[in-house]
């Protein structure tokens, strides 16, 4: 799309969020938690902290605001020369693999 629309002055980019803490994460934890024997269960905070430190080099969850900030930047005149890009806002998750 970026190549096809560039001659019209339209920029096309993709933002790929990383591990954003949402209600879905809590449901994943709940499923894991319920399947564990009592001695192996962890609180959501413990489980989530370990999970994110294991797979995200920056060691923290991304926030919805982090994703929104990138979208705002790409929508601004400061990004006038950015098109055809995929930008990962993921704390280094993709780089980690």
> Which CATH number do you get for residue 38?
3.40.50.720
Q: What is the pTM of this model?
A: 0.81
> Could you tell me the CA-to-CA distances from 36 to 13, 42, 54 in Å, in that order?
41, 9, 20
Place of tokens 């991304």: 62
User: Which residues 6+ apart lie within 8 Å of 61 measured at CB?
Assistant: 19, 20, 21, 48, 52, 91
Q: Rounded distance, CA 92 to CA 80, Å?
A: 25
Which DSSP category does 84 fall into? S
pLDDT of residue 26: 86
Structure confidence by residue, pLDDT tens digits, 28-84: 889 999 999 999 999 988 998 998 999 999 999 999 999 999 999 999 999 999 999
Q: Rounded distance, CA 4 to CA 16, Å?
A: 21
Mean pLDDT of 14-36: 90
Domain range for 86: 2-96
Domain total in the chain: 1
């Amino acid at each position: 799309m970026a190549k096809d629309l560039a001659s019209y002055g339209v920029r096309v980019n993709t933002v790929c969020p990383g591990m954003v803490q949402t209600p879905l994460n809590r449901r994943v934890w709940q499923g894991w938690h319920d399947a564990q024997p009592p001695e192996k269960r962890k609180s959501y905070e413990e489980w989530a902290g370990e999970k994110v430190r294991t797979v995200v080099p920056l060691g923290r969850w991304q926030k919805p605001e982090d994703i929104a900030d990138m979208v705002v930047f790409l929508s601004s005149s400061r990004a006038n020369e950015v098109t055809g890009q995929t930008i990962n806002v993921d704390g280094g998750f993709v780089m980690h693999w």
